[in-house]
Structure 1
């Protein structure tokens, strides 16, 4: 891995955590829809990454958000679950020709349908873990399900907007020497 690759992702880590803590914390849709934009860091990582690194990064990311939100490990657990399931979802969504080693998660190169299926599936699983770990009861299951669906929609739309605005149309070439 070259240093620009690492610096880019370190900058993305801090950017997504800062966006989550400073901006998205106060943006709530109809008092039930929350945007957890920090998961974009995990979703936008390269397709070919070590599972150990992915799980470690997920834990660090979730733990960092937990420190700011005082949520006692809920975001860390949900982020590790997302990181654990990410390779399985990628296998389910593998294109006919497979992935190249230089492929990244990008709506422009992977296609809109692929990106939406990938993003909304993993965000739905992450949000389900967050909200059911938060309530720990099924007495308010319908309200929790509404929170999950509205938050998944909100987070997914914000991620699509981020991809369209800030990610390149060109295929990235990463040198893994």
Structure 2
């Protein structure tokens, strides 16, 4: 890892957490659709990142959001779950020829179908963990399930829009040597 790699991801970390705390906290669809944009930080990390670092970064980003939301570790637990499941989802989605060491998690590099499957699967697991840890109540199961589905769709659409706006096709492959 070089300095530009580290600096890029540090900036992304602060940007996504700031967006979550300052903007997305107030952007709720009919009290059921929540956008947790900070998960994009974990989704956009390189394919070859060490699993231990991925879990540590998952905890740090989730714990940072927990500090601002006063949610006692719910986001940290859900982010660590996302970080834990990410390599397994990547293994399931591995192309026939495998991943290139220079491949980035980018809709332009990996393709629309791959990125949609990757992002929506991990976002669904994350949101399920967040909302069911928050509720822990069987009486509101259907309402919580609706919150999970609408929030997953909302967050997924925002993540895709961010990919299309800020990740240009000209920067398809990034060399981290």
Category of TM-score, reference length = shorter chain: over 0.9
**Which TM-score applies when normalising by structure 2?**
0.98
Contact 1:5 1:174 in 2 (8 A): no
Task: Identify the residue that residue 175 of structure 1 maps to in structure 2.
Answer: 176
Q: Report how far residue 50 of structure 1 moved.
A: 0.2
Aligned residues: 176
- Post-superposition shift, 1:105? 0.6
The CA distance in 2 between the partners of 1:162 and 1:73, in whole Å, is 27
Q: CA deviation at 1:138?
A: 1.3
Q: Separation in 1 of the partners of 2:174 and 2:160?
A: 22
Uncovered stretches (5+) of structure 1, i.e. residues with no partner: none
Deviant stretches of 4+, over 6 Å: none
Conservation of the 8 A alpha-carbon contact between 1:63 and 1:75? yes
Q: 1:139: how far off?
A: 1.0
How far apart are residue 137 of structure 1 and its match?
Answer: 1.2
Give the drift of 1:143.
0.1
Q: Offset of 1:72 from its aligned partner?
A: 0.1
Q: Secondary structure at the match of 1:139?
A: helix
Name 2:128's counterpart in structure 1: 128
RMSD of the alignment, in Å?
Answer: 0.7
Matches within 5 A, 1:1-177: 1-169=1-169, 170-176=171-177
Q: Secondary structure at the match of 1:16?
A: helix
